[in-house]
Amino acid sequence: MTLHTRAKGNDRAHEVVRLPAFEQVRDDPVLYAHASRVLHLESNPGNARALVQRHGQRDVWINPPPWPLRTPELDRVFELPYQRVPHPHYGDARIPAYEMIRFSVNIMRGCFGGCTFCSITEHEGRIIQNRSEQSILREIENIRDHTPGFTGVISDLGGPTANMWRLHCKDPAIESRCRRLSCVYPGICSNLNTDQMPLVRLYRKARALPGVKRVLIASGLRYDIAVETPEYVRELVTHHVGGYLKIAPEHTEAGPLSKMMKPGIGSYDRFKALFDRYSRQAGKEQYLIPYFIAAHPGTSDEDMLALALWLKQNGFRADQVQAFLPSPMALATAMWHSGRNPLKKVMRNSEPVLSAKGRRQRRLHKAFLRYHDPDNWPLLREALQRMGRTDLIGNGKRHLVPRYQPAGTGGRPEGTRTPDRRSGAGTRFRTQHTRGSRKPQRTQRRRK
- Range in contact with ligand SF4 (rule: CB under 6 A) among 1-9, 186-194, 222-230, 366-374: 186-194
Contact code string over 192-231 relative to ligand SF4, x by CB under 6 A: x---------------------------------------
What letter would DSSP give residue 269?
H
Q: Is 7 in the site for ligand SF4 (CB under 6 A)?
A: no
Q: Is 175 in the site for ligand SF4 (CB under 6 A)?
A: yes
Residues 214 and 206: their CA atoms lie apart, in Å, by 9
Strand pairing partners for 214? 153
- Range in contact with ligand SF4 (rule: CB under 6 A) among 59-67, 167-175, 285-293, 319-327: 167-175
Task: Supply the minimum distance, in Å, between the C-beta of residue 249 and ligand SF4.
Answer: 22
The number of angstroms, rounded, from the C-alpha of 136 to the middle of its chain's C-alpha atoms is 23
Choose between 115 and 369: whose C-beta lies nearer to ligand SF4. 115
| Phi, psi dihedrals of residue 319, rounded to the nearest 5° | -95, -55
User: Of residues 183, 227, 241, 318, which one binds ligand SF4 by CB under 6 A?
Assistant: 183
Q: Is 189 in the site for ligand SF4 (CB under 6 A)?
A: yes
Q: State how far the alpha carbon of 140 is from the alpha carbons of 1, 8, 95, 183, 260, in Å.
A: 26, 41, 22, 30, 35
Q: Is 273 in the site for ligand SF4 (CB under 6 A)?
A: no
Residues 288 and 282: their CA atoms lie apart, in Å, by 15
Strand pairing partners for 192? 169
Task: Supply the minimum distance, in Å, between the C-beta of residue 11 and ligand SF4.
Answer: 20
Dump the DSSP string for 4-53. P-PPTT-GGGG-EEEPPPHHHHHH-HHHHHHHHHHHHHT--TTT--EEEE
Choose between 182 and 286: whose C-beta lies nearer to ligand SF4. 182
Choose between 170 and 417: whose C-beta lies nearer to ligand SF4. 170
User: Of residues 60, 153, 173, 174, which one binds ligand SF4 by CB under 6 A?
Assistant: 174
Residues 366 and 389: their CA atoms lie apart, in Å, by 18
What letter would DSSP give residue 417?
S
Q: Is 43 in the site for ligand SF4 (CB under 6 A)?
A: no
Task: Supply the minimum distance, in Å, between the C-beta of residue 175 and ligand SF4.
Answer: 4
Are residues 127 and 168 in contact, defined by beta-carbon separation less than 8 angstroms? yes
CA dihedral of 66, 329, 219, 437, whole degrees rounded to 10: -170
Choose between 194 and 376: whose C-beta lies nearer to ligand SF4. 194
Q: Is 445 in the site for ligand SF4 (CB under 6 A)?
A: no
- Range in contact with ligand SF4 (rule: CB under 6 A) among 171-179, 235-243, 318-326, 405-413: 171-179
User: Of residues 10, 24, 71, 191, which one binds ligand SF4 by CB under 6 A?
Assistant: 191
Choose between 168 and 389: whose C-beta lies nearer to ligand SF4. 168
Choose between 187 and 419: whose C-beta lies nearer to ligand SF4. 187
Choose between 182 and 361: whose C-beta lies nearer to ligand SF4. 182
Residues with Cβ within 8 Å of residue 150, at least 6 apart in sequence? 103, 143, 144
Contact code string over 108-147 relative to ligand SF4, x by CB under 6 A: ----x-----------------------------------
Count the residues of the shown chain that bind ligand SF4, applying the rule CB under 6 A.
10
Choose between 180 and 389: whose C-beta lies nearer to ligand SF4. 180
User: Of residues 169, 245, 248, 356, which one binds ligand SF4 by CB under 6 A?
Assistant: 169
Residues with Cβ within 8 Å of residue 406, at least 6 apart in sequence? 374
Task: Supply the minimum distance, in Å, between the C-beta of residue 331 and ligand SF4.
Answer: 16
- Range in contact with ligand SF4 (rule: CB under 6 A) among 7-15, 178-186, 390-398, 429-437: 178-186
Residues 256 and 339: their CA atoms lie apart, in Å, by 14
| Alpha carbons within 13 A on the beta-carbon side of 260 | 24
Closest CA to 225 of 279, 149, 165: 165
Task: Supply the minimum distance, in Å, between the C-beta of residue 336 and ligand SF4.
Answer: 26
Are residues 148 and 155 in contact, defined by beta-carbon separation less than 8 angstroms? no
| Phi, psi dihedrals of residue 34, rounded to the nearest 5° | -60, -45
Q: Is 178 in the site for ligand SF4 (CB under 6 A)?
A: yes
Residue 445 CB neighbour total at 10 angstroms? 17
Give the residues lining the site for ligand SF4 (CB under 6 A).
112, 169, 174-175, 178, 180, 183, 189, 191-192
